[in-house]
Chain A
């Protein structure tokens, strides 16, 4: 028996003007279709499908992506990740991204929705070359319960370690346990319900950092946004909002700056 409920491995390379798959492997509860090319940039795009419809007790998932030199990939999901009741073992997902020199990864999954008593642990390990680029956006909703009560889940742990040329540069660890924390209050969600996090790493960030900062300070009154330049060439943006659309808007707004530096527009991810 395989130890993973769902497994996806993508190995991409740049071939003349396009990024193509060197190898694609999936099994169990994960699946991808053929890569899409949303614009004429040659960047490949995959939608991860979860035909099972959601994560249940004891599930274990792994996504492993390897981008060879100059390969460009946009990786997203087909729909929200639903994490159901977890009575026995917490659900575990591992993401491993290996980005070689000059490669670009945009990882922009749909929101995470945790149900009553759900426990979810996610570990992301990004191992990138100093001149690779990363755009990593994540969205967390207040979950879903039958009686409409917000934050019905037990635990969400999201851990991301980013290594650049083998050195640990970012250790991002979020820990939501609504039953023991005052999650709606001061210090946590400050009265907001939705949380978004965006990490951009790009060796040319300083070309647009100031403009991006002004944009973030000026254009999103409905959200509470904090951002900081990282130790390496990059920025971390944290957002508190009251719905997923507000978070999507911030991500899209930031994506424009990131895309523009590669001379591109933000593609429309038509999902629904």
Chain B
């Protein structure tokens, strides 16, 4: 990785990236209101399950498969992955969150890295049964930046996890330092998850633990909310 690639990746993974990730908790807020997630330790328990058993099979796998499809020049596969990644998201708010964040990331990246695949994605969204997803926009940018498969997955998982931890810091709340130690603890986990994702296939896409999904669905009916999902 050269310096420009490194800097581009740092920018892309920055939690200040204005794509609206800070408004989405993906069900975490339900756990906070239920009192089940209330400190660093319980946040870690939630995050481990979310990362290992949902993200791995949705965003993480989607990002990996998307990157692979682009590397092999199989664009049809890429659109098929986009359809499946959207269809597996069965909680309405999480589905809408992905579409919104995906769209904002797509637009931002069109400004930063004008290229034809991003334009094509935008066009497909306009005309076909295809929805935006941040994992797939991320895969496109990584591919354009000539990053490796592993770098792509690691960076995507990192940026998502770091965003969720930022939300936990505000939402639970926990201290900034607690948040950073949690993120630090997750680094070795991200490596393990990356290896795991690389062993999965399109047939594994979408496996979701019921408890997480129910919390994501119940979020629609929370009386007071600071997050949109």
Interface residues, chain A, CB within 8 Å of chain B?
Answer: 157, 167-175, 181-182, 185-190, 195, 197, 217, 224-231, 236, 238, 240
Contacts and interface: CB of A to CB of B under 8 A. Distances in A.
Nearest to B218: A226
A215 to B, nearest CB: 13
Contacts of A217: 221
Interface core residue of B209, B214, B221 (most chain A CB under 10 Å): B214
B46 interface: yes
B49 interface: yes
B67 interface: no
A120 B209 CA distance: 17
B92 A240 contact: no
B31 to A, nearest CB: 7
7 contacts: A170-B87, A174-B208, A174-B210, A185-B45, A187-B54, A187-B209, A228-B91
Interface string B205-218: 11111111111111
Describe B's contact surface by its main secondary structure: helix
Q: Sort chain B's interface into a size bin.
A: 35 or more
Contact of A187 (B50, B87, B129): B50
Contact of B87 (A168, A189, A227, A228): A168
B206 A172 contact: yes
Given A181-B53, A217-B221, A229 B46 contact: no
A213 to B, nearest CB: 8
Contacts of A236: 90, 217
Given A174-B207, A190-B211, 7 more contacts: A168-B84, A174-B208, A187-B54, A187-B212, A188-B49, A195-B210, A236-B90
Contact of A226 (B31, B49, B83, B91): B91
A107 B93 CA distance: 27
A21 to B, nearest CB: 33
Contact of A240 (B45, B50, B210): B210
B31 A188 contact: no
Contact of B36 (A170, A186, A225, A230): A186
Interface core residue of B50, B209, B210, B213 (most chain A CB under 10 Å): B210
A231 to B, nearest CB: 7
B95 interface: yes
A189 B211 contact: yes
Contacts of B217: 226-228, 236, 238
B208 A226 contact: no
Contact of A230 (B49, B90, B205, B211): B90
Contacts of B211: 186-190, 240
B207 A173 contact: yes
Contacts of B205: 171, 173
Report, nearest first, the 5 A-B pairs whose CB atoms are least far apart. A226-B214, A226-B217, A187-B49, A175-B207, A173-B206
